[in-house]
A and B are shown apart, each in its own frame.
Chain A
Amino acid sequence: MNDVLLAALGDIFRIQNLLTVVIGTVLGMIFGALPGFSAVMGVAVLIPITFGMHPTAGLILLGGVYCGAIYGGSITAVLLKTPGTDANALTAIDGFEMTKQGKAGEALRESAIASWWGGIFSAFCLLFFAPPLSQIGLRFGPPENFMLSIFGMSIIAMVCAEDLLKGLISGVFGLLLGTVGVDPIVGSLRYTFNNVGLYNGISLVPSLIGLFSIAQLMVMTAERKKSIVLVDTSTIKGKFRWKELIGYPMVYLRSSIIGTIVGIIPGAGTTIGAFIGYNEGKRFSKHPELWGKGSREAVASSEAANNAVTGGSLIPTLTLGIPGNAVTAVLLGGLMMLGLTPGYTLFTERASVTYPFILSLFLANTVFLIVGVTMAHRFATISKTPSYILIPIISCFCTMGAYALNVNIIDVYMMFIFGFIGFIMNKFNFSAVPIILGMILGPIADKALSQTRVIAKKTNLIVFMFSRPICLVLLIITILTLFYPLLRDTFIKLRASRGAKGGHA
């Protein structure tokens, strides 16, 4: 492994890869700093650009966008109380209070420093835990792969805890879209309507761009605001001091551990990471009374946790092909488009691509630290870009991106149609993430189920599958994940009723 790491280290410090990290991270920061534009959208829009690149550079770019966007969301959260991404919602509370107190510069630096700690810690975990975990995948045959896909789909329960039924319907819709094209076993055509462009199935990337980018542009067009937000950067004062890097060591460590663990749990996501990090930070704080009133420690808690999710969420994505959250679901699509299959081979045969990518996350985090402590406020001014410029330019970029995939105009039409679908889904509170999960995991489940049928011969399929221990374990985890919203609600009710009783006493 040492040789691989050394080679990867040499690879990552090539000038073109270094430039890719910087460009990816800065682009991510821009997407993160624009409220309404998410990390998911950033990765979705930029995937097509990676087709012309070497897979290593392509992955490095996407990794940089991911890290940069999660951090970038904190800039507008601090300055405008408008979190760029959901994950920065808590940063907005204390960060904006600090801004009101004339400490915007301090808050911006703290969010960059804490994000860096979180990102670096989780990248270390990814580097050391992912390779051994990927070996589990070697024990997987078709029945296990089928159950793994089902488990992957159960992430919907976490992503769409607010309305599980709608999430499941979206997921099933995605599964159905995944069946379009040539059947993997008998080779017959399904839902192609004699259209040659559909023989290879519905392309993932145009669908992603449509669902996440075009749909969002439609929402923004509806309101036609002059610019997304107005920024006053005149209150940003103060210079970076080196000792700020270790301002809250215990907070950084605690939130980083929390964020990484939350990231590993499929579907939990950066927002949950930030909330738990914030909550635990407050519990252990010497001054909890200052939280919510402009506490720098609070900014550190939520930011370290949400950025720690980045590396953590990549662990199940790279080892088992189960995305940790919405961004990694999209990233997984990009990974597959670049011809990389998650699992053991990613750390053996394709190690020359995977390790430089993992190492690039350290650099991406360092890039946003440097940019963040020196010129974060400049990114806030991006929000001033008039929407009459931003919307046409991004739609143009989306169109070219969708076309670039297969140099096929049908992909662009698909993007357009999926834009409408995404908009309608958004309007009626159906999440688009399960569609992507369904489209990625559906074909895997389809193939694995057909193969399992062949292997099982005359044995009952259910008996055959659940006589295998890994399938059984995956089934149990799937059921637990599916019932997570119910368990969570029950737990909250119980705690509330106990609290009420305590109050009466």
Chain B
Amino acid sequence: MMAEESILEIRGLTREFVRRGASFPAVDDVSLTLGPGEFSAIVGRSGNGKSTLLNLITGLLKPSAGSIILDGSDVSASDDRRMSDLRNRTIGFVTQIHTLLPNLTAIDNVILPAVLRSGPWREKAIVDESRATELVVDSGLPDVIQPASARMLSAPQSDHMVRRAQMLLDQVLVGDLAFCYPKELSGGEMRRVSIARALMNEPKLLIADEPTGDLDAENTAVVMRLLRRVADDGTAVLMVTHDPDALEYADRTYRMDRGRLTLI
């Protein structure tokens, strides 16, 4: 993978924390490159800096040293507005802890990234679909039998959001729970809604911190197949996991030990 094609390029990344007056590196001189469609997994014991690394990539933490280039932007040099925009448009983040908003239904939680987006929200799939529709219309079919997807173009943008959110929930097999609140969902269902939310804005980089942590084998397979398909469709996927079953879906696996990252 050539550097100019990479979505994520990390060089000599270090983040130090101070505990009881002594500084220690939670992330120590880490370098990593991830291109479109690549699926990398990171394993390691708890407290070895995996989550800190992910938070550094998303710009939620500032590094002590090193650089992170995300989709051509230097994360360390980006101001809050630029970094927030990157998190919204370029990154999809499935967190380790449950971060669904309890006051919103599952479908509203999934729609939220589109709502927070600065500027108009546009769904690539619909634009692609519109091209296909144009072909159908151009073929001479009368307006009265115009396909539904063509009518969608004239529907408000918000309808597209709802349609995409529902489609994502269907894909992670919780479509029938779209109007449930998080407190009505099991841990596994909440995890799947989080994944749907991370995919809402069609990110170039999907970061998943223990995405199968509280899923059974069957649901783990559903989620991992989805992540694999996301990667196959061109999204770079970076996953932290403790689940050996999840590793077989990744292209590469790294180990994080006391802040240092090594390829297995």
Partners in one complex: no
Chain A interface (Cβ < 8 Å from any Cβ of B): none
Chain B interface (Cβ < 8 Å from any Cβ of A): none
